[in-house]
Amino acid sequence: MLDIIKSYFSKNNYYIIILNDKIIIKNYKSILNISDNEINIKLENIIYKIKGNNLVLKKIISNELEINGIIESVKKYDSNKSN
């Protein structure tokens, strides 16, 4: 809980909070694709690939989004390299 509060006040450009059944991402750039098993999200020059089951978008408020579902893995890719 303290981590969540701390992350809200930190000066980082973006942050990702991974919980058991949800992921909260702040300052994302765009959502590249959404499906039940995989969601790709772009943050600055990084792409995050979230894999899991029953993944659904729960909230989108300004630059913050919440994804609910069973999270299996979160992988990080450099968007320049992948391009």
Q: Which positions lie near another protein, rule CB under 8 A?
A: 30-31, 34, 56-62
Q: 52 Cβ partners below 8 Å, 6+ apart? A: 37, 38, 69, 70, 71, 72, 73
CB of 51 to another protein, least distance (A): 19
Q: Which is nearer to another protein, 58 or 76 (CB)?
A: 58
Q: What minimum distance in Å lies between the beta carbon of 67 and another protein?
A: 11
Q: Tell the smallest beta-carbon distance from residue 35 to another protein (Å).
A: 9
Residue 28: name the closest of 38, 10, 11, 13 by CA: 13
Nearer to another protein, 35 or 82 (CB): 35
Report the C-alpha dihedral over residues 67, 69, 75, 79, rounded to 10 degrees.
Answer: -40
Q: Give the residue with the Cβ less far from another protein, 30 or 80.
A: 30
